[in-house]
Structure 1
Amino acid sequence: MALTFEVDPAFDRALRDGITALWVDVTNAGGAVGFVAPVTAGDVRPELVKHLSAMVDGRTRLVVGRDEHGTVAATAFLTHNAHRLMRHWIGLYTVMVHPRHQGKGYGRELMGAAADAARAIDGIDAVRLTCRGGTGADRFYASCGYKEVGRIPNAIRVAEDDYRDDIIMLLPLFRQDLPESDTTPRGNPAI
């Protein structure tokens, strides 16, 4: 069965509890979504409240995927960039597919639904995300069209002696490829 995706669904207790349960299950299965296992609903809820507050403020949009029973099975949050010179790209966060649904192509469908939601927003040219090195997530995102544009070595500490790179990836929404890194000055050099 395919997942059914919805952008900006009505938020109620069932959706809140479904996202919380998904986040706990994904983390405890080894997913790199802001925590290190083991976690409980009590650990996850404060972070979800931050996402919800941003949704209420109009800074964040939610893409949710539900299975054939209506259970929350996938999420991605699109967050507007608040910096006035960077409002032409949007961030993608907390991308999750429930472990029981992984390996079925639903992650790719979720990424497509998130990109479609970003394309529907006026003025958005690209989607930016970060992922934890050493998980293989960067290869998955690359297969969805994202390109690595930066890497901060050892930026994420998942254990006392386990540091991971923070990998920055970008998906241009309206052009097929990213130019190679360019240090050529732009605009009026006299300014």
Structure 2
Amino acid sequence: MPLTFTLDPAVTPELRDGILDLWADVTAAGGAVGFVPPVTREQIRPELTRQLVAMEEKRSRLLVGHDEEGRVAATTFLTFNTHRLMTHWIWLYTVMVHPRHQGRGYGRDLLAAAERSARGFEGIEAIRLTCRGGLGLEHFYASCGYKEVGRVPGAIRVAPGDERDDIIMLLPLT
């Protein structure tokens, strides 16, 4: 069954807990979402709080995908630029699909829903994201229409002696 996507859902305690669980489970499975395993929900909570504050300040929007059981199965944050010369594109942060749902096309569905959402934002002409090298993520994003537009070698230090490229991807909307 496909996921049901909602842009700007009401932020309830259940939603916060669902996102924390998703984020921890994705990280534990090796997902490149800002942490490395092992990580706890309490270590993730400050980052989620930062994102929720950005939403309250209208600097970011949340897109959530729920599975057929109503559980949080996928999320991403669509974040507006505050620099006056870059307000024509948005960032896509923390793209996550729960490991139990991977391999079903839900990542593509999430990116398509994010693209549809961004097309509805006035003045937005592109979506930009970064991904961690060494996992092949750039190939997945390219298959969804994103183009690699830059790469910073060794910019992400996963562990001492394990540096990965920071890959910049762009999806033009015009």
- 2:74 and 2:88 map into 1 onto residues whose CA distance is 26
Count of aligned pairs: 174
Q: Which has the larger radius of gyration?
A: 1
Q: Deviation string for 1:138-189 (max 9, x for gaps)?
A: 1110000000000000000001010000000000012xxxxxxxxxxxxxxx
The separation in 1 between residues aligned to 2:137 and 2:63, in whole angstroms, is: 19
Query: 1-side partners of 2:46 and 2:118: how far apart?
Result: 26
Write the mapping of 1:32-51 to structure 2, written as runs, cut at 5 A. Answer: 32-51=32-51
> C-alpha separation between the residues in 1 aligned to 2:144 and 2:8?
22
Matched AA of 1:52: L
Query: What is aligned with 2:64?
Result: 64
Q: Which amino acid aligns with 1:71?
A: R
Residues 61-140 of structure 1 mapped to structure 2, 5 A cutoff: 61-140=61-140
Deviations 1:43-85 (A, max 9, x none): 1000000000000000000110000010000001000001000
- The 1-side partners of 2:39 and 2:142 are apart by 28
Quote the residue 2:153 is aligned against.
Answer: 153
1:164 aligns with 2:164: yes
Q: Which residue of 2 aligns with 1:8?
A: 8
- Give 2:3's aligned amino acid: L
Counterpart residue identity of residue 81, structure 2: N
Per the alignment, in what secondary structure is the counterpart of residue 96 of structure 2?
Answer: strand
Partners of 2:34 and 2:73 in 1: how far apart?
Answer: 18
Unaligned runs of 5+ in 2: none
Distance apart, 1:24 and its partner CA: 0.1
Q: CA deviation at 1:6?
A: 0.5
- C-alpha displacement at 1:136, in angstroms? 1.1
Q: Mark the runs of 5 or more structure 1 residues left unpaired by the alignment.
A: 175-191
3-state SS of paired residue (1:107): helix
Residue identity over aligned pairs, in percent, reads 68
Q: Give the counterpart letter for 1:75 in structure 2.
A: T
User: Does residue 143 in structure 1 map to residue 148 in structure 2?
Assistant: no
Point out 4+ residue stretches in structure 1 off by more than 2 angstroms. Answer: none
Shift of 1:2: 1.0
> In the alignment, which residue of structure 2 is the partner of 1:30?
30
Aligned to 1:180: none
Structure 1 position 96, deviation (Å): 0.1
Instruction: Give the aligned residue type for 1:67.
Output: D
Q: Secondary structure in 2 aligned to 1:30?
A: coil
Specify the SS of the correspondent of 1:44. Answer: helix
Question: CA offset at residue 130 of structure 1?
Answer: 0.2
Cα distance between partner residues in 1 of 2:49 and 2:163: 27
Q: Which residue of 2 aligns with 1:54?
A: 54
RMSD between superposed Cα atoms in Å: 0.4
Match of 1:62, SS state, is strand
Aligned-residue offset at 1:4: 0.5
CA distance in 2, matches of 1:56, 1:71: 23
Q: What's the TM-score once normalised by structure 1's chain length?
A: 0.91
